[in-house]
Amino acid sequence: MAVQIVVRKIDDLDGTCGEDVSTVHFGLDGLRYEIDLTPANAAALRDVLAEFIQAARRAGDAAGGLAFVDRRDLPALIRTWALENGFSLCGRGRIPDAAIVAFKFAHEDAHEGITRMCDDLLDVHGP
């Protein structure tokens, strides 16, 4: 028996199928995104962002390399940072609010998205 596997590239915006669909990566508010787009839709995205990019300054790694952090990676980053900065933590489980707050203030210049994600993590823990 023969099996044929077909991979179709589909534009996430309009559903167009084509070999020329490619993944475009971008970031906003400390979060990274990727979207699969046809060349026309990729150009449209770049055109919309062009004016903002032209007026912006490149962030680089000035804030300790935390310009973009995936929300799922944040607890591990906080745990590593806290241990390196004298906090006593278990290897697993809940991270104490004090460690999260200290991490947040140590990285407040990194990006607004990191601050917001720390606040979200504190909200999950509750009072």
Instruction: Tell me the per-residue pLDDT of 14-35, one tens digit each, with 9 for 90 and over.
Output: 999 999 999 888 887 767 788 9
Regarding whether 96 and 120 lie in a shared domain, the answer is yes
Cα 47 to Cα 41: distance, rounded to the nearest angstrom: 10
Q: What is the pLDDT of residue 111?
A: 66
Q: Is residue 61 part of a domain?
A: no
Specify the DSSP element, H or E, that contains 27: strand 22-28
Shared-domain flag, residues 48 and 84: no
Tell me the residue range of the domain where 115 lies: 71-125
In angstroms, the Cα distances linking 25 to 2, 21, 22, 34, 108 are 37, 13, 10, 4, 24
Q: What is the pLDDT of residue 127?
A: 57
- At 61 the pLDDT is 46
Q: Are 91 and 106 in contact (CB under 8 A)?
A: no
Structural domain total, the chain: 2
Residues 6+ apart with CB under 8 A from 48: none
Q: DSSP 3-state assignment of 37? A: strand
